[in-house]
Structure 1
Amino acid sequence: MRAKPLGTWLMASSPASAEALGHAGFDWLLIDMEHVPLEFTDVLHLLQAVDCGGAAPIVRLAKTDPTLAKRALDMGAPTLMFPFVQSVEEARAAVACTKFPPLGTRGFAAMHRASRYGTWSEFGKRANEATACILQLETPEAIAQLEAIAAVPGVDALFVGPGDLSAAMGKIGNLADPEVRAALADCARRANAVGVPIGIVGPTPAMVREFVEMGYDFVAIASDMGMMMRQANAFIAELTDAQPAENAGGPY
């Protein structure tokens, strides 16, 4: 498999797990405020832990909201992921959240973790170039506008949400469905054609390899909780008469 930046989802809300997975060798780790019950204090602790482990942190917000984005950026998140972007207008709104004027509408303060508590003298001048914006495309309607969304100034990368896409296509949780696979391959091909990086998450190494072969530029494998549960189920099945629990489907 061609070398691509490899990450995983943090769904255990555990700074210890976040730090350990960095030391395990993941290139990036996603802190998920959409599906995990995290408060911003939790996010701060996870960011600190990810930094200690050497991986690059990405924070996925619960929604596109200027206040949520500002708080995550101020506490040192270098990259934000915005879920469920459906249009060019929503893409522009997400970019605006991540940038100071004149490129956006992010509120300015300079005494926080992102500015190294006021010791980064170039913070105001360089913060815009130091922050990245990733937009998630999760429905056929969004994918139909892939090129237009990718062309919005300030969009650094796209990320396909295969779980929500499968649900929107009437194939909920079935990432192996041929129509879902065809849509995922089409996303990668079109993003490659316009030169915008595109990422995706898959539940197994085999599926992640397929995504890389499709042309995805950065990939995630499952989640901390997903990996723990799969290995726990395998150990229990090997040492007892219990049958492995069935997976609920989806990418994590």
Structure 2
Amino acid sequence: MRGPESCPREGRPLSNRIKLAAHRCGEWKGRTMAASLSTMALATAAKPRLLAPQILQIQSARSTTLSLRSDQMFTAISIPSRRPSLPPVRSAGSPPHQEYETFPRSLKSRLAAGETLYGLFLLSASPTLAEIAGLAGYDYVVVDMEHGPGGISDALPCLRALAAARTPAVLRLPEPSAVWAKKALDIGPQGIMFPMVDSPAAAAHAVSCCRFPPRGVRGSAHTVVRASAYGLDDGYLARCEEELLVMCQVESVDAASEIEAIAAVEGVDVVQMGPLDLSGSMGYLWDPGNKKVRQVLRELERRVLGLKKRQSGANAAAEGGSASLGGPYLGGFAMPHDPPEELKARGYHMVAGAVDVGLFRQAAAEDVRRFRRAEAEIGEEGHEDEKPRDESYWSE
């Protein structure tokens, strides 16, 4: 009887009966890759049987390696690259080992690096306008479910459009609610904005809504929701809370009186000013540019920026870190009397310059005015002795 390393027919090692030739067979997504088996001869007995496992490797010019065992079907092809376009092919039942990176840099990392981010509020819940905003170059887009007509099912297509344009999305909730926060976080925004946060307790509740137990009250369905790539992203739980930008809006007289306590709540990343609601709370709903409203806003800005400076300095001294780290960032919304460049000059870290429907309203109104103005100018250039156009036509 021949040994286990021999081929039943020829009595020679099985490895000597296998000839492999690899060659380049085209391009896939612009990269030359792949190898094909040009010849593969296996000598077998009347009842085919591979007696000894053999490891076969095929290597292309790009160092792409395919490995398979001769005593089993291969179950995976792994094609390493710097930026893979597709997740690796896996056989059914194999455990996932993949982390998904949607954006090169998160909003929190850019803020920590000292950048001032410029954004847009999307009130229309239109995926088309969301995509245009992303392609136009905004650093972030706030999908507004507080004043906009849309809910979660309307926000989801907007997040997909923004993801396609590589633009981070922030979801503004209708109210500071654990139910709304859970549904919003499950569809995977980079940030979440809570309106009407009037006290430190409300701020702490907002943070709790964004954290899983035991640190918070967020409900868990992380194995199937979009935020975790429907369960394919193994690293989601390890980083989701660290990467999420939690924004609390200060937009009332009560909130203004406790601004520093709200800003000091652990987990509050951005204190977002709400100039319109603040003006209404102060009795100047029809006059948001009132001098008294502006004075209150300047004082609130000063206190938030002062707190961040103190906390950043303390953290840098204690840990030897960057002075830009620590403390809440300041976010705001530009107004006609307070343009975005002035907010940036005063130290705001996140500046929303416009609303999508406002931009369209302005452009549409200007377009109509331009036409009416041109129409009037054309009429003024006519001569008195000229007949009206319709009369001239019928007289011919």
- TM-score, normalized by length of structure 2? 0.58
2:157 is matched with: 45
Local SS of the residue matching 2:285: coil
Identity %: 35
Q: Deviations over 1:205-246 (max 9, x none)?
A: 96222222232211111211101111111121122059xxxx
Match of residue 266, structure 2, among 149, 153, 171: 153
Matching residue's letter, 2:155: V
Instruction: Give unmatched runs, 5+ long, in structure 2.
Output: 1-113, 309-327, 375-396
Q: Deviations over 1:72-129 (max 9, x none)?
A: 1111122110000111111111111011123211111121111111111122222211
1:132: how far off? 2.0
1:108 is matched with: 220
Matching residue's letter, 2:352: A
Q: Which has the higher helix share?
A: 1
2:367 is matched with: 235
Matching residue's letter, 1:235: D
1:125 is matched with: 238
CA contact (8 A) 2:168 2:189 kept: no
Matching residue's letter, 1:93: H
1:165 is matched with: 278
Aligned partners of 1:180, 1:106: CA distance in 2, in Å? 36
1:54 is matched with: 166
Aligned partners of 2:211, 2:352: CA distance in 1, in Å? 26
Closer/same/farther in 2, CA of residues 176 and 52 from structure 1, 3 Å limit: same
Number of residues of Structure 1 aligned to a counterpart in Structure 2: 241
CA contact (8 A) 1:84 1:136 kept: yes
Instruction: Give unmatched runs, 5+ long, in structure 1.
Output: 243-252
Bigger relative contact order, structure 1 or 2 (CA pairs below 8 A, ≥6 apart): 1
Aligned partners of 1:141, 1:67: CA distance in 2, in Å? 25
Deviates more, 1:217-226 or 1:165-174: 165-174
Match of residue 185, structure 2, among 58, 73, 86: 73
Match of residue 355, structure 2, among 196, 201, 223: 223
Matching residue's letter, 1:8: L
1:39: how far off? 2.3
1:247 is matched with: none
RMSD of aligned Cα (Å) = 1.8
Aligned partners of 1:173, 1:28: CA distance in 2, in Å? 29
Match of residue 198, structure 1, among 316, 330, 333: 330
Deviates more, 1:170-179 or 1:180-189: 170-179
Aligned partners of 2:237, 2:201: CA distance in 1, in Å? 26
CA contact (8 A) 1:18 1:49 kept: yes
Local SS of the residue matching 1:117: helix
Match of residue 97, structure 1, among 209, 215, 218: 209
Matching residue's letter, 1:51: A
Matching residue's letter, 1:101: P
2:302 is matched with: 189
Matching residue's letter, 2:168: A
CA contact (8 A) 1:98 1:132 kept: no
Aligned partners of 1:210, 1:174: CA distance in 2, in Å? 19
Matching residue's letter, 2:134: G
2:127 is matched with: 15
Query: Quick check: 1:141 aligned with 2:254?
Result: yes
CA contact (8 A) 1:29 1:55 kept: yes
Local SS of the residue matching 1:215: coil
Q: Deviations over 1:49-90 (max 9, x none)?
A: 111122211000001111111111111122110000111111
